[in-house]
Amino acid sequence: MDKDFALKLAVIVSITGLIMLFIVSKFITIEPVGIGSVDERLVGKTVLVKGEITKISSSERAVIYVDNNPLPLVAFSNIELEKNTNVLITGRVDEYKDGLQVIIDKIEVVK
């Protein structure tokens, strides 16, 4: 097989694969879970939590609590949100100091 043909074939296969990944990603959704249903079975998994901010604290990281649940939702960046704001939070469930927390990837304000 000549080098030009192999290169063209590799480029075509790569582009086709990227297009397929893009199409498949449009059909993958994460269903929202109640904050109370986050448990050890979800460690390492991405969850979508919907709720109302009932407490928020900020320092070098922001810690958010929704729906009066003791599970902390942690962001390692500054967040400009207030109590009583309805949010949709995407994050990864993680273990920390003998408990669980959600490391926030994305926050959306819901009206």
Convert the pLDDT of each residue in 8-28 to its tens digit: 999 999 999 999 999 998 888
Mean pLDDT of 77-100: 90
pLDDT tens digit sequence for 49-88:
999 999 998 878 889 999 999 999 999 888 888 899 999 9
pLDDT at residue 60 in the model? 80
Domain topology for 32-109: OB fold (Dihydrolipoamide Acetyltransferase, E2P) (2.40.50)
The pLDDT value recorded for residue 33 is: 81
- Domain edges within the chain: 1-30, 32-109
pLDDT (0 to 100) of residue 1: 67
DSSP string over 32-77: EE-GGG--GGGTTSEEEEEEEEEEEEESSSEEEEETT-S--EEESS
Closest CA to 94 of 105, 86, 83, 80: 105
Contact status, residue 48 vs residue 35, Cβ threshold 8 Å = no
